[in-house]
Amino acid sequence: MSDQGRPVPPPPGPHFSRRVPDGDTLERYVCGRCGHIHYTNPKIVVGSVVAHEDRILLCRRAIEPRKGLWTLPAGFLEEHETPEDGARREAREEACADIRLDALLAVYTVAHISQVQLMYRASLAVPNFAAGPESLDVQLFAWNEIPWDELAFPSVKWALRHYRETRHLSVFAPFGNPAPRNSPAP
Amino acid sequence: MSDQGRPVPPPPGPHFSRRVPDGDTLERYVCGRCGHIHYTNPKIVVGSVVAHEDRILLCRRAIEPRKGLWTLPAGFLEEHETPEDGARREAREEACADIRLDALLAVYTVAHISQVQLMYRASLAVPNFAAGPESLDVQLFAWNEIPWDELAFPSVKWALRHYRETRHLSVFAPFGNPAPRNSPAP
């Protein structure tokens, strides 16, 4: 097993080597001295599509990657944090916004970087926002004003489109990754 | 910040100490030699409530923790894996079962151990199953036969109850953690 040809992270220490531990089925880093297994795990990103009076909040990134492009308030879930708390924290940090979560909009997987993204549908709790330290600018956009060609990540576009599909729904199942464009019709 | 008084994992190496990196708000392990920041992240568990003809599949754990108690097929998501693929893999590994996922049943957070659990509603694709290496036994249980007092984890009970609530629903929003028993009525 070689993690399906995906990039393998650097070893956690000088005595670690890659092998399949007894009783396992995948290669892990195992310490040649003490047998300690160093597991690596997918990371959780939490974020939200935040609406206010039919407009949607976007943040212009002040940091790499994709500095200068527009994104949703989102980031890595912290230890001991619920995804909902994490999504609210990211909106506070990146957009100085106090938001109310309404529904789990989508669960996306970005498999090549081992990310699972939990995206919520939300609204501004109070109509205030501003650029946090990781944002150059924060603005509300009407649907036809969204800078589609300046969005930072594919999943930002997915979440905006999925948000649009649920605008008039109170109960729905969360979306997953959209099918690739050139896949055959189901 | 001290991670809200939660347990802090051991340092990743001898030169690491806990401090708040510049521009951050939480304590991390930072290498005193090179400044490398060692982030730790919540882990994702994926699993499923698998039904077959009104009965539910449970696995008796062959491994600690909770050896000998009954659980749902579930486990840690692997790198580069989608949650759906992970849930199917766990059913294969623990119950030798080929399952069909139907809906995202719940997103639970076990904050004190930094776990986010994605639990799916599923059914047996073919009516075959057997104990995998991590299970002592695998059985189908009618609702009134479920060994409620021998379930391995609280979230197993949550998922079973939430599954029961969705039996006749094709579209629903995933559940979260149930409210604590002694919390005031909403």
Q: Who among A83, A173, A177 is closest to B103 (CB)?
A: A173
Encoding tokens for residue B64? 């600690």
The answer to whether the beta carbons of residues A22 and A38 sit under 8 Å apart is no
Q: Using a CB-CB distance cutoff of 8 angstroms, which residues of chain B are in contact with residue A27?
A: none
pLDDT digits 0-9 by tens, B98-126: 999 999 999 999 999 999 999 999 999 99
Q: Residue B183: what pLDDT?
A: 61
Peptide bond into B65 cis (omega under 30): yes
Q: How many Å lie between the alpha carbon of B108 and the closest alpha carbon of chain A? A: 9
- The Cα A141–Cα A147 span in angstroms is 9
Which segments of chain B have a pLDDT < 50? 1-4, 186
Interface predicted TM-score (ipTM) of this complex, two decimals: 0.87
Encoding tokens for residue A133? 């330290």
The residues near A163 (Cβ < 8 Å, ≥ 6 apart) are A49, A51, A56, A105, A121
Look at B3 and A79 and tell me if their CB atoms are within 8 Å: yes
Q: Residue A2: what pLDDT?
A: 38
Query: Residue B16 — left, alpha, or beta (φ > 0 → left; ψ -120 to 50 → alpha)?
Result: beta
- The Cα A2–Cα A6 span in angstroms is 8
Interface size between A and B, measured as CB pairs under 8 A = 97
Look at A80 and B4 and tell me if their CB atoms are within 8 Å: yes
Residue A150's CB: how many other CB atoms inside 10 A? 13
The upper half-sphere exposure of residue B94, i.e. CA atoms within 13 Å in the direction of its Cβ, equals 28
Q: Residue B28: what pLDDT?
A: 86
User: Best of A16, A78, A88, A175 to disrupt the B interface by mutation (most B CBs within 10 Å)?
Assistant: A78
Encoding tokens for residue B73? 């097929």
Look at B109 and A76 and tell me if their CB atoms are within 8 Å: no
Encoding tokens for residue A143? 């649907």
Q: Residue A6: what pLDDT?
A: 60
- pTM given for the model: 0.89
- The Cα B135–Cα B120 span in angstroms is 20
Which segments of chain A have a pLDDT < 50? 1-4, 186
Encoding tokens for residue B126? 């073919």
Please, what's the largest Cα pairwise distance for chain A? Answer: 60
Q: Using a CB-CB distance cutoff of 8 angstroms, which residues of chain B are in contact with residue A76?
A: 39, 41
Look at A80 and B112 and tell me if their CB atoms are within 8 Å: yes
pLDDT digits 0-9 by tens, B48-63: 999 999 999 999 999 9
The answer to whether the beta carbons of residues A117 and A106 sit under 8 Å apart is yes
Look at B6 and A79 and tell me if their CB atoms are within 8 Å: yes
